[in-house]
Amino acid sequence: MSRLIHGWEVVVGLEVHAQVATKAKLFSSSPTDFGSDPNTNVSFYDAAMPGMLPVLNGEVVNQAIKTGFGINAKINRISRFDRKNYFYPDLPAGYQISQLFYPIVSDGVVEINLQDGSRKTIGVERIHIEQDAGKSIHDLSPTCSYIDLNRSGVPLMEIVSKPDMRSSYEAMQYVKKLRAILKYIGSCECNMDRGNLRVDANVSVRKPGEPFGNRVEVKNINSIRFLGQAIDYEVERQIDVIGNGGRIVQETRLFDSSFCETRSMRSKEDAADYRYFPDPDLKPVILSDERIEKLKAEMPELPDVKHERFTKEYCLPESDADVLIEEKTVANYFEKAVKASKFKPQESAKLIANWMIVELFAVLNKNGQTIEDIEFPVEHIAKLVDLILDKTISGKIAKTVFAKVIECGDSPAKIVDDLGLVQIQDESVITSAIDKVIQANASQVEQYKAGKVQLFGFFVGQVMRELHGKGNPEMINKILQKRLP
């Protein structure tokens, strides 16, 4: 069930523009490198010089097909490129090549997690291949604008959802899941800061059971947090407009993150305004069964399947699996660590997951690092967990060891040796420490005898101190219970 806001139901459909991870552009051999000097990645074709012809980059087609598999969609054996005509200074050809009538992929699904732990299926209408435009730069000079054509012709997949989302939360979950799928497949780097994943949010409101209301399209949102804010703002605005007797007009708006609001850019064009027609320079894309089968065989394990495997194979709680599968690199790190442990996965996996999610991620967050950047080899986390499981060190000492590994990069075993952190499990040593504590705290012993049982913790603490934090906690507990009168 969707939640209503002042009696209104929210309807959201998203168009996600994902830059296909290829070295060359869609129809030319220019590089797609990020951060190059302006207008250095531009061929005659990208600049729309007369007589230049497009040559389709087959790798883009392959990546789009794989993405189609990733969302369980239909791969269309025949797709075709159309010209979408409009004038813009950073679009030198005067048209964008896209696939309106015959997209390469249709009818997919993305499963998302909801707050209450249930799942919801969001439909994906289509994925089509298209070119990106260049960039106009208006803030370098007071008197003129600059054009950078480096992005002109960069390959994009436009992934168009059905209007199936009913809240900003669902929309954010959808983009997160889609991003995970694309990254697993490797069809898009999904680096939102670099603009290689951009979202247009279509938002409308209606009374439950009524037909869809007019929608507004909020363009080019480049972070998941902004997506949530833009939708929330837009919903409030639309409810307000309608509440005051107004109507929502179909239009394109932009989200201004510094004011956290959407503003009107232009009224929305219809497809007819673009005078779409088939591009006469490009043949239809016809896919053979062999090509499709070959790509299918190359598909990696996807996030949902991995999630299920992690909960079954390693007996992980759903919430741990959620976190570990989000990035393929993190999932791989986890599995390698489990393999490296000398204990069975059923014994070590949960503890390894804890150490990664709590301690390792805290360091990554603090330093703004990813798991690939950090110098914490898989073997170290496995060894740390082994040392806890075979009772060489306590969980508490393990924290000290962990911090030292981060600090100096030595292995956990070496640190335990060097600092003499091996847990004391010698019964006689523990017993004599306990006796010493009992002798030194006669009055507390009296109180304990008189029934103040909560003092037990005090004694454990004192014994631990006596043993410089290295006593085996279970043994201390057991022996203390016997020795205290």
Place of tokens 């994906």: 124
Distance CA(53)–CA(276), nearest Å, equals 19
User: E-assigned strands of 207-260?
Assistant: 216-221, 251-256
Cβ atoms of 483 and 435 within 8 Å: the answer is yes
DSSP 8-state assignment for residue 31 = B
**Is position 108 an interface residue for ligand ADP (rule: CB under 6 A)?**
no
End-to-end CA distance of the chain: 60
Distance CA(131)–CA(128), nearest Å, equals 10
**Is position 14 an interface residue for ligand ADP (rule: CB under 6 A)?**
yes
Q: Which is nearer to ligand ADP, 117 or 209 (CB)?
A: 209
Restricting to residues 211-240, which ones interact with ligand ADP according to CB under 6 A?
A: 212-213, 215
Q: Which is nearer to Mg ion, 15 or 251 (CB)?
A: 15
- In whole angstroms, the minimum distance from the beta carbon of 107 to Mg ion comes to 18
Of 301, 298, 379, residue with least CA distance to 338: 379
Which of 160, 178, 227, 360 contacts ligand ADP by CB under 6 A? 160
For 228, residues 6+ apart whose C-beta sits below 8 A from its C-beta are 168, 169, 171, 172
- In whole angstroms, the minimum distance from the beta carbon of 41 to ligand ADP comes to 28
Q: Is 327 helix (H, G, I), strand (E, B) or coil?
A: coil
DSSP letters for 334-373: HHHHHHHSSS-HHHHHHHHHHIIIIIIHHHHHHHT--TTT
Judged by beta carbon distances under 5 to 8 A according to partner kind, the member of Mg ion, ligand ADP, none in contact with residue 216 is none
- In whole angstroms, the minimum distance from the beta carbon of 211 to ligand ADP comes to 9
**Is position 86 an interface residue for ligand ADP (rule: CB under 6 A)?**
no
Distances (CA, A) of 284 to 272, 294, 375, 411: 22, 21, 49, 58
Residues binding ligand ADP: number (CB under 6 A): 15
**Is position 204 an interface residue for ligand ADP (rule: CB under 6 A)?**
yes
**Is position 202 an interface residue for ligand ADP (rule: CB under 6 A)?**
yes
Q: Which is nearer to ligand ADP, 159 or 185 (CB)?
A: 159
- In whole angstroms, the minimum distance from the beta carbon of 339 to ligand ADP comes to 42
Which of 79, 96, 106, 161 contacts ligand ADP by CB under 6 A? 161
Cβ atoms of 129 and 156 within 8 Å: the answer is yes
Q: Which is nearer to ligand ADP, 10 or 351 (CB)?
A: 10
Q: How many residues does the chain have?
A: 485
Distances (CA, A) of 453 to 61, 399, 438: 72, 29, 15
- In whole angstroms, the minimum distance from the beta carbon of 12 to ligand ADP comes to 6
Applying CB under 6 A, the span of 208-216, 290-298, 363-371, 465-473 interacting with ligand ADP comes to 208-216
- In whole angstroms, the minimum distance from the beta carbon of 267 to ligand ADP comes to 12
- In whole angstroms, the minimum distance from the beta carbon of 335 to ligand ADP comes to 36
Applying CB under 6 A, the span of 155-163, 171-179, 185-193, 408-416 interacting with ligand ADP comes to 155-163
Residue type, position 345, single letter: P
Distance CA(79)–CA(236), nearest Å, equals 40
Q: Looking at beta carbons, which residue is closest to ligand ADP?
A: 13
- In whole angstroms, the minimum distance from the beta carbon of 270 to ligand ADP comes to 7
Q: Which is nearer to Mg ion, 15 or 379 (CB)?
A: 15
Judged by beta carbon distances under 5 to 8 A according to partner kind, the member of ligand ADP, Mg ion, none in contact with residue 25 is none
Restricting to residues 201-230, which ones interact with Mg ion according to CB under 5 A?
A: none
- In whole angstroms, the minimum distance from the beta carbon of 93 to ligand ADP comes to 20
Q: Is 122 helix (H, G, I), strand (E, B) or coil?
A: strand
**Is position 163 an interface residue for ligand ADP (rule: CB under 6 A)?**
yes
Strand order in the sheet with 216-221: 74-75, 105-113, 119-131, 155-161, 9-19, 197-206, 216-221, 251-256, 261-267
Site string for Mg ion, 2-41 (x = CB under 5 A): -------------x--------------------------
Q: Which is nearer to Mg ion, 183 or 198 (CB)?
A: 198
DSSP 8-state assignment for residue 287 = -
For helices 456-466 and 442-449, the axis angle rounded to 10 degrees is 150
Residues that bind ligand ADP (CB under 6 A): 11-15, 160-163, 202-204, 212-213, 215
Which residues bind to Mg ion, rule: CB under 5 A? 15
